[in-house]
A and B are shown apart, each in its own frame.
Chain A
Amino acid sequence: MTRGTRLAFRPASGGGATKNLSSAAVSGRGRARADADPARALLEVRGVTIQYKTRNHLITATYRVGFNVLQGDRFVMLGPSGCGKSTVLKAVGGYLAPTEGEIRLKGELITKPGPDRIMVFQEFDQLLPWKTVLENVAFPLKATGTLRGKAADERAMHYIEKVKLANFAHSYPHMLSGGMKQRVAIARGMAMEPDILLMDEPFAALDALTRTRMQDELLALWDETRFTVLFVTHSIPEAIKIGSRILLLSPHPGQVKAEINSVPRGQENSDEAAALAREIHQMLFADQIEEAPNVSNG
């Protein structure tokens, strides 16, 4: 497969010892288990082909896509529209069954949706409009029976404070701006402390300024808790900024073009990042088009 040799250059991302410090303060559950076997990938996607039927056609969305996500990765799937990146994410979420290949989380085959993989969607209507911010964040905890009553509210409040929305805990979603809604959705995802957070272009519907701020905040949250995230985007600058590891997909059907390391944290404006952006650009599009490194195209 196309990945092959590049895997050798992979540095160990996220020191194992520091990983659990902040999450242990909230609860002992969750991340600790995966560290038992550091050699094993947290999420293994092997030879996944996904086909679906429309009224007249059988469409192959992805063809034999494979990659591994390790604990603490900020793993980005990048590609133009039609490359099946969201389809792969939905399959990891358990909403779609691959026609060929398999997806394993901690060695267990994924067959249906579950609270060990929380999805953050692009759409603003992912928050339940009949619940306040606090109730929304506490909802999965209570619905799955992870925590009850006050304990659930306390955990929810902890993550609402992390996304800086403590003042809006009792507001309803329709009173919030788009960026705030996405922050609630991220808090809701993180409050479950899932094995992996799945983000489907969560910032794509935001304006450019808010998007940049949200990217910074997401990275700040990652610095604190070192959660594992699988992030889908079609913006090269966003992929370079957010990702520690980038999977490039080609369109129609989606196939892996490359799996590469991003630049180190905080260097997304460096010459190195610009070179990487050009390299990715060349791989994704045959003819090169100039693009400023920090323009997040929507």
Chain B
Amino acid sequence: MFQTVERPNIYCETLGPDQFGIIEKPLTLAEKIYNQAWLRKIAILLLLAVLWEVYGRWLDNPLLVPTFSDTMRALITDFGNGTIPSRAWGSIEVLMLGFALGALLAGLLSVFAISTRVGADFLETMTAMFNPLPAIALLPLALIWFGLGSGSLIFVLVHSVMWAVALNTLAGFRSVSATVRMVGRNYNLNGLRFVVRILIPAAFPSILSGLKIGWAFAWRTLIAAELVFGVSSGQGGLGWYIFESKNQLNIPEVFAGLLTIILIGLAVENVVFRFIESRTVQRWGMQS
């Protein structure tokens, strides 16, 4: 049969914190360097640049693939004489205007959608219809409506930004927990004050990812539009610069133009959006 064994109570002495050898030990310099995400990323970029240079030299055909050094030379020259900065600024100016307008309209639509059922139906239908429609496909129409200038570019930009941002914002608003909503209502917040003080911060991770997607869409649309139809308000942007260089068979400059687009994209993602994230969703513990 089962027999229970008598066991005495056991008491142990624990060591005080001063009796331990090492509780915290600083990392070595190499470990610290390896822990820096940006350093690791720069190492990857350097590796890619080296591969490019090697391939370019091995191919030895600057009309197909110029070497990395040639591209950098073209980039530095055109940076120096102000061509690329002015072209890039031309693109960015239009882009920011279109992006801001698109995000604003998306915000209004989402607020309308979260506050009324008709608004939600409207937004859902519109996004289902227009989100899959490539913005660039609207450019011919836009050129007829708004003429050969930044007006038509802004129109297609708004179209490319708005639906992605609105979709994400609405999804974010809907995922705000019932408890947080009740807390807001408990303090007599309603209407616009409720949206601004509760919904937008609570849905900020979704809104931010919507803005990121919208930003990428806008960039693509703009460069494509410039490549096809070129001129916006007299002086072309980066897309036009690429197109021109190709026509003159200045292939290193084509690559320099592409590189500029990539650099701007990297900067916006890693500086602007990273800054916003570290100040908001990361600090609030909504995203690790």
Contacts and interface: CB of A to CB of B under 8 A. Distances in A.
8 contacts: A95-B185, A121-B183, A125-B177, A126-B180, A126-B183, A140-B187, A143-B187, A143-B189
A201 interface: no
B188 A174 contact: no
Interface of A: 93, 95, 112-115, 117-119, 121, 123, 125-126, 128-130, 139-140, 143-144, 172-175
Contacts of A174: 284-286
A144 B187 contact: yes
Contacts of B247: none
A172 B186 contact: no
Given A128-B201, A173-B285, A115 B186 contact: yes
Interface in B272-288: 280, 283-286
A172 B284 contact: yes
- Complex A-B, nearest 9 residue pairs according to Cβ-Cβ distance, in ascending order: A174-B285, A130-B201, A129-B284, A140-B187, A113-B185, A143-B187, A130-B284, A123-B179, A126-B179
A63 B198 CA distance: 34
A175 B179 CA distance: 19
B283 A95 contact: no
Interface string B151-187: 0000000000000000000000000010110110111
B251 interface: no
Interface centre among A113, A123, A128, A130 (most CB of B within 10 A): A130
Main secondary structure of the interface of B (DSSP, over half): helix
Given A128-B202, A129-B285, A121 B189 contact: no
Contacts of A112: 185
Interface string B238-254: 00000000000000000
A128 B183 contact: yes
A123 B177 CA distance: 10
Contacts of B193: 143
A113 B197 CA distance: 17
Contacts of B215: none
A130 B284 CA distance: 5
A125 B284 contact: no
Nearest to A124: B179
A121 B179 contact: yes
A113 B182 contact: yes
Nearest to A176: B285
Contact of A115 (B187, B280, B286): B187
Contacts of B186: 93, 113-115, 117-119, 140
B189 A129 contact: no
A112 B179 CA distance: 16
Contacts of B197: 143
B179 A113 contact: no
Interface of B: 177, 179-180, 182-183, 185-189, 193, 197-198, 201-202, 204, 280, 283-286
Nearest to B178: A123
A113 B280 CA distance: 29
A173 B280 CA distance: 13
Contacts of A114: 186, 188
Interface centre among B177, B186, B197, B285 (most CB of A within 10 A): B186
A42 B189 CA distance: 25
B197 to A, nearest CB: 7
A178 to B, nearest CB: 14
Interface centre among A126, A140, A143 (most CB of B within 10 A): A143
B284 A115 contact: no
B188 A113 contact: yes
Nearest to B198: A128
Contacts of B177: 123, 125
A118 B185 CA distance: 10
B280 A125 contact: no
B204 A130 contact: yes
Contact of B179 (A115, A117, A125): A125
Nearest to B200: A130
A114 B182 CA distance: 10
Contacts of A173: 285
B90 to A, nearest CB: 37
Contacts of A115: 186-188
B190 to A, nearest CB: 9
B179 A130 contact: no
B112 to A, nearest CB: 23
A89 to B, nearest CB: 11
A134 to B, nearest CB: 15
A130 B276 CA distance: 13
Contact of B187 (A95, A121, A123, A139): A139
B108 to A, nearest CB: 22
A214 to B, nearest CB: 18
A173 B179 CA distance: 15
Nearest to A194: B186
Given A128-B183, A128-B198, A130-B286, 5 more contacts: A115-B187, A118-B186, A125-B179, A130-B284, A140-B186
A129 B176 CA distance: 12
A123 B283 CA distance: 21
A125 B185 contact: no
